[in-house]
Each structure stands twice: as structure tokens, then as C-alpha cells.
Amino acid sequence: MNEQKRGVLYGVGVGPGDPKLLTLRGAEVLGQVRVVFAAGSSKNEYSLALNVVKDHLPAQTEVRKLDFPMTQDQEALDRAWERNAREVLEVLDQGRDAAFITIGDSLTYSTYGYLVRTLLALDPEARVETVPGITAYHAAAARLNLPLVESKESLLVVSGVSDPADISRLAACGDNVVIMKTYRNYDQIIDAIESLPERRRTYCVSQCGLPGERLQEDAASLRGQSMPYLSLVIVKGPQE
């Protein structure tokens, strides 16, 4: 008796939110897999990633939400990652291919990174293929027609949910800086940028490619406003 062939997990980055920015490979995978997993929350049934790909999913595709709790409790996170990884492995063991979809790129500030690491720790023989996606900061730079790096310049990508006091230290490590997820500490981030010894040009892009998109030169002009979750700041090198 032949052993049943196991399914493949595809980690698909679906881009920043505009369905037209889904890659051809991503669309191809989503048209073929039997099951699509997406990060979910007990507080909100809406999934931006699912909204991006909905027109690429055949009617018979099974869609499942995996709960990734918003907590700093590492034990609770570990339990959730293991529970989700085991649910995915169960589908693969049935011989069904599956995709885990995530906004932006699959391996850039993505829940998929936690999932695939846990899954491979549980089963090193699991079959996994990662499909990259367009990052929010690449899409934002394109909307601004703004080169991210040129010649010998460097680019640093950091998270805006960490301590804003770290921004000045981190900015010293790169000519140009992208600060992701600036919604939570926006004003403090702007203050940190403005405290740098050399003046920088700043740009804020929120809801890139989505309804309500906002492109703003001089990110400091938005200080005091409530920023959407999908907001980032691009900091260009010191001005001459």
C-alpha cells in the first residue's frame, strides 16, 4: 500500500493591501491549494489579507482563521503558536496543500514567521514553500516616487512598537530608516527623529493602496493625530 503524499504549506505574502499587488506566484498558489489559513482575532473577524485575495480563491477553498493573541505573555504565545502549527500539520498529513496568507511580505514582521518556525520544530520533515510579497515600505516608496537607497547608502528597517527612545540610536546606524507600525507611538517617534543632531526629511504613508490612503511629506505635520494601524514613516538621510 502506497503511503499518502503529504501536503505542502505555502506561506504567501499578499502585498500591502491593494489586490493588484499580489504576485503572480501568490495568485497561482491560492488558485490551487485546498485550505487557506489566515491570522484571526477573537475581537475582530475581519481579515485584510483575506479581503486582498478573495477573488483568487476558488469557491471550494476552505478558509480557516488561526488565533494569534495580542499579548506579551510569552507562554500564552507559545501555546497559541504550537496549537496553530498542529492544526496546519493535521491538514498537511491529510495530503492537502494549504496556504497561510499574510499582509506584506511573508517573512517581514509577519505571524507566518512564528508559525513556520514552530511547525518545523514540531516536524522538521514538513514540506514548506515561502512565497514573498511586496512589503508596505516598498509600496509606500513607490507611491511617493521616493528612492529608498542610492549609491553607497544603507537602509534600516525597524519596528515602531518598541521603545521610541531607541529611534535616535537606531537612526545612527543607517543613512535611511523605515519605521513600521508607527500608529502606537507616533508623536514620540517624531520627537525622537527631530532630536537627531542632523535634520532629516520625513514622510508618512498610511493605508497604502487602500481606501483612505494618505501620503504626507513632513511626517511631523501629523503630530497629535490618531494614526491608522497601517502607518509607516520613511526617514531619509541627513540633509546637506
pLDDT single digits (tens) 67-89: 887 777 888 888 999 999 999 99
Order across the sheet with 8-13: list the strands: 62-67, 35-40, 98-102, 8-13, 127-131
CATH superfamily to which 136-238 belongs: Tetrapyrrole methylase, C-terminal domain (3.30.950.10)
- CA 182 – CA 190 distance, rounded (Å): 10
What is the structure's pLDDT at 45? 56
Q: Which residue has the cell 507566518?
A: 112
Task: Tell me the average pLDDT across 171-192.
Answer: 91
Q: Which residues of 168-192 are buried (b: 16+ CB within 10 A; e: fewer)?
A: eebbeebbbbbbbbbbebbebbbbb
**Residue type for 194, please?**
E
Which pLDDT value is given to residue 155?
Answer: 94
CA distance 145 to 28: 29
Non-local (6+) Cβ contacts of 176 within 8 A are: 148, 149, 153, 154, 155, 156, 234, 235, 236, 237
Handedness of CA 91, 22, 19, 113 (dihedral sign): positive
pLDDT tens sequence across 136-169: 999 999 999 999 999 999 999 999 988 888 888 8
pLDDT for residue 1: 39
Is the pLDDT at 26 greater than 90? The verdict is yes
Q: What is the pLDDT of residues 54-67, one digit of tens each?
A: 999 999 999 999 98
Of all residues in the chain, the percent with pLDDT exceeding 70 is 95
d(CA 118, CA 139): 29
Closest Cα partner for 11 from 19, 23, 2, 21? Answer: 23
| Annotated domain spans of the chain | 8-131, 136-238
Homologous superfamily assigned to 8-131: Tetrapyrrole methylase, N-terminal domain (3.40.1010.10)
Q: Would the pLDDT of 42 be above 80?
A: no
Give me 200's grid cell: 532629516
Give residue 134's pLDDT band: very low, low, confident or very high (50, 70, 90): very high
How does the average pLDDT of the chain come out, rounded? 92
* d(C-alpha 78, C-alpha 62), whole Å: 26
Mean pLDDT for 189-198 is: 89
pTM of structure: 0.91
- Helical residues (DSSP H) of 94-220, grouped into ranges: 111-122, 136-144, 166-171, 186-194
How far the first Cα of the chain sits from its last, in Å, is 73
The pLDDT score that the predictor gives to residue 2 is 45
**25: nearest Cα among 37, 15, 38:** 15
